[in-house]
Chain A
């Protein structure tokens, strides 16, 4: 696999560098595709995206293409990975389109031959080459960050942490909530990046802070909203923002050491029981309309360059992000899980 050094912006992902590709020809949404999809009548979408975004997106698709029902199968990316492995091993064919917050999974799946190369014109024209697989097996659907955040009612802005190292201050003991890389792809990706930048010693110190351990990266924002803990060590940035826009008193923090960057690739499954509906859903999500829906609802950073980021959110280029390295994550995922479980005891 080709590796590159990436700096900051989401536009640079090591999915493959050269655009010389054996990818299939780019397709568009044709009436024939819609008709074939309608005959299938349903499509299953495996994703790690929070339900508050995934289900409305599914409903928007159903409204646009009546007669096709979307079944959203949401769970943490690492559990999703496990579930797909078990289902495939048992010859259960259910997954049509898969979308995960752990980009490393797509390297494995592609190698196993589970992904159906499929490329649309929206992808070839409007998605940066670094964001897609040269053979067209997968493409980044959207990008988000694993940000920090605090509850304004529980932490005075002057006392707020500015970065990861601040969280080791004894005053935060018992006040932190954090996701788990054994369940969440966002946290897996983030854990790899933080361990690389700050060393595993950082987590050893953090574990002494009586951290409340939850599973998915979608849960720290909810624990913060409930006021259960004052500071979230990590979590999906878009959920912190969505809460804030709903009036929840929280403030998002982009750590001074850098914010973990999470791409969310998507692919059509080769064994898809509804191959046409799978392609239609995939193509729609990558279209301007699908991308706009995700951006307007959640403010995640779109992969489609024609779609503007959500107003009121900080532009991705203004945030110091850490380098995402799916190739390395793919190699070391088991080790990361084991180390993490040893340090945090769960």
Chain B
């Protein structure tokens, strides 16, 4: 049934039903649309207005002239592009072979490797950057100390200097390649085995098959992955803020942040945000094209399980390589964090004699910001996850069932925030809500709006793919038996989607706990969250407390993810997705 006639039928039913069974879908649709428009259009509108005005509020292009002529903006712009390109390349070089090893070969411990790569995503990038500071600061870094003690080099020789452009690129790549890895590994999982079988039956050797069949099939996914990595690196705030300033340079995001130093220059900040926004929109278009092409590999009936490539003598070296790669985002940084959490000085290895609870005591008993920040973080994460999941569920339902005309607009609005980098959204919300009628700055609401907006696209995509797997006939049966659309949604659809909803909830929860780039613009002393507290402590160099708080943060996140997995959330969503694709 076409969308319009069906909704007309729904409206036509109305007078027949009792008032208790009023179909609320139209008011809800209008409300949701209005909400999304306000959430996205208001901050972005103010962003554009500000970028085109001077301090007095008169229209000008002066901000953009400054942006593209003043070296204090041009340099960060160039630096940011160098970082994004390099990170993207490194991520592909690392993630493609690793994804292939895990998905298509008989490498030992490949399941564990896969889980651990995903687990490394739990680490907020700025915590990773702080941990790598502990490891590879040129003099005090543990790895450099180890290297000097092994080689007898003098005290100012360093193997790694994390306070450098290459250091920053390395750290960003550490926490970006998992995204590319997941894309590649999942694509390889779903790739038809028959094509490869045919190739080997025709006499191609293992490597030939990999080169001629597997790689071309995976290429669009890899391209999409490269774009994801590029975007991550482009819009990241935390790692550059930790590493670039000591190294003596800015990226575009840290420069935008620095414009909020006194005296704040929101006009310039708005103008500097627009290139990020435009570039992100362009690249997302590119990604859609690249992923769109993948279709030919997966569509068209059932395929056999892909066959595993036998690595033979290379099995152990492959596993060793995978572990070495995992050491970078996972083993080494966490070792460093644990070390400094229980040590008086982060640059010394803790021993039984020097182990101390000083930092733990300081963090939880003395530091008066800890408990309020923990409380705010939990409250915001729970609320954002709940409201975000409900909102995403509503939108996904309306779009998937074409419940009302105009549903496409909703789908567009729900995915639009994907194009808004966190720091840009932060600036936009700051401009929009520091004025009447909604002076939300200084309240938790503004953070709640920011977090829900940022996480909505992912939540929506996750739930909409789950919706496609639930056949509309089930709902239609409910509707025929006289239940309203909402009732059907609650009684029939929601239970079928339970695991996908739980997965989405957890996903948003975790993402909110680690969010820094919007929060750092929007927080006030009363609404400090954990990530901002860690960032504040970084300013005064209290690494012991940072280590304790970071481990606490990651601990909480891990528990939530584990609970999610227990409910089968993640896997279920994956399976639904696979079914849709098949």
Contacts and interface: CB of A to CB of B under 8 A. Distances in A.
A78 B541 CA distance: 16
B248 A87 contact: no
Contact of A94 (B163, B368, B525, B542): B525
B246 A50 contact: no
B139 A90 contact: no
Given A50-B540, A219-B539, A86 B347 contact: no
B524 A94 contact: yes
Interface string A92-103: 101100000000
A195 B367 CA distance: 36
Contact of A78 (B75, B138, B139, B261): B261
Given A212-B246, A213-B245, A75 B345 contact: no
B434 A71 contact: no
Contacts of B72: 341-342
Interface residues of A, number: 61
A222 B156 contact: no
B331 interface: no
A89 B72 CA distance: 28
A289 to B, nearest CB: 20
Contacts of A215: 245, 539-540
Contacts of B163: 212
Interface string A53-81: 00110110000000001111111101101
Contact of A92 (B248, B345, B346, B526): B526
B123 to A, nearest CB: 22
A46 interface: yes
B405 interface: no
Contacts of B525: 44, 46, 73, 83, 87, 94-95
B445 interface: no
A82 B139 contact: no
B540 A74 contact: yes
A218 interface: yes
Contact of A73 (B138, B261, B345, B369): B369
B155 interface: yes
B258 to A, nearest CB: 7
Given A90-B442, A92-B526, A344-B248, A56 B366 contact: yes
A87 to B, nearest CB: 6
Nearest to B260: A82
B45 to A, nearest CB: 20
Contacts of A346: 244-245, 248-250
A204 to B, nearest CB: 14
A328 interface: no
- Chain A CB count within 10 A is highest, among B139, B347, B434, B540, for B540
Interface in A315-346: 334, 337, 341-342, 344-346
Nearest to B133: A228
B262 A345 contact: no
A245 B108 CA distance: 53
Interface in B471-500: none
Contact of B539 (A216, A225, A248, A342): A216
A223 B541 contact: yes
Contacts of A212: 163, 246
Nearest to A221: B541
Interface in B510-543: 524-526, 536-537, 539-543
Contact of B368 (A71, A82, A95): A71
Contacts of A74: 536, 540
A51 B540 contact: yes
A90 B245 contact: no
A345 B250 CA distance: 8
A81 B262 contact: yes
B245 A71 contact: no
B366 A55 contact: yes
A19 B140 CA distance: 51
A72 B372 CA distance: 11
Interface residues of B, number: 45
A175 interface: yes
A226 B542 contact: no
Interface string B52-77: 00000000000000000000100100
A228 B261 contact: no
B234 interface: no
A175 B372 contact: no
B156 A82 contact: no
Interface in B534-563: 536-537, 539-543, 545
Contacts of B346: 226
B545 to A, nearest CB: 8
Contacts of A92: 441-442, 524, 526
B406 interface: no
Nearest to B137: A228
Nearest to B138: A228
B367 A55 contact: yes
A119 B261 CA distance: 32
B357 to A, nearest CB: 16
B206 interface: no
B249 A90 contact: no
B301 interface: no
B249 A83 contact: no
Interface centre among A81, A90, A213 (most CB of B within 10 A): A90
Nearest to B430: A86
B264 interface: yes
Interface in B351-379: 362, 366-369, 372
Nearest to A81: B262
B539 A226 contact: no
Contact of B439 (A44, A90, A334, A337): A90
A180 B537 CA distance: 16
B15 interface: no
A285 to B, nearest CB: 16
A215 B545 CA distance: 17
Central interface residue in B72, B245, B367, B526, by most chain A CB within 10 Å:
B245
Contact of A213 (B248, B434, B524): B248
B248 to A, nearest CB: 5
A79 B246 CA distance: 18
B368 A70 contact: yes
B263 interface: yes
Nearest to B145: A227
Given A86-B524, A92-B441, 9 more contacts: A73-B369, A76-B540, A82-B262, A90-B434, A219-B541, A222-B542, A225-B345, A345-B75, A346-B244
Leading 4 A-B pairs by shortest Cβ distance = A219-B541, A222-B541, A92-B442, A228-B140
7 contacts: A55-B366, A69-B368, A71-B372, A213-B248, A223-B541, A228-B347, A341-B72
Interface of B: 72, 75, 137-140, 155-156, 163, 244-246, 248-250, 258, 260-264, 345-347, 362, 366-369, 372, 434, 439, 441-442, 524-526, 536-537, 539-543, 545
